[in-house]
Amino acid sequence: MTTKRLTKILTHAEISVVSTLLNEILGKQVINFAESYGIKAEDMARFFQVASLCREKREEMGLSFKDLSSKLKIPQYRLKAIEHGRFSVVQLDVLEEYVAALGIAKWFNKWKTQNKELVETIKAKSR
């Protein structure tokens, strides 16, 4: 089975639809729990694009977390946090270094311009 890479950056309207679906699938209780930790469904949907593309690109390149961790001098748990969509613990400088190593920095820069609020959230948590 071939998977189609998600390279399109979702619009605000599309994020709203995905967020609504997350609410329906996960239930309000799970969403409320996540929000109690400052994690919004919209942000999960936005960051999922980054997480998915990083995972797909790393796998396509035949690289393990260990390979990239050694090359970038970044602990594996930080790289795994990115690919697992745990944006609340992601450090922006690590994320930028990771996407550059995967060759998707141009795409990521576009994503950042369309997701400024989430980027600021990540930046603030990186301090």
How many helices and strands in the chain, by DSSP H and E?
Answer: 8, 0
User: Domains of the chain (ranges plus CATH)?
Assistant: 43-126 (1.10.260.40)
pLDDT tens for 54-105 read 999 999 999 999 999 999 999 999 999 999 998 889 999 999 999 999 999 9
Q: How far apart are CA 42 and CA 39, in angstroms?
A: 9
| 2: amino acid identity, one letter | T
Residue 53 is predicted with a pLDDT of: 95
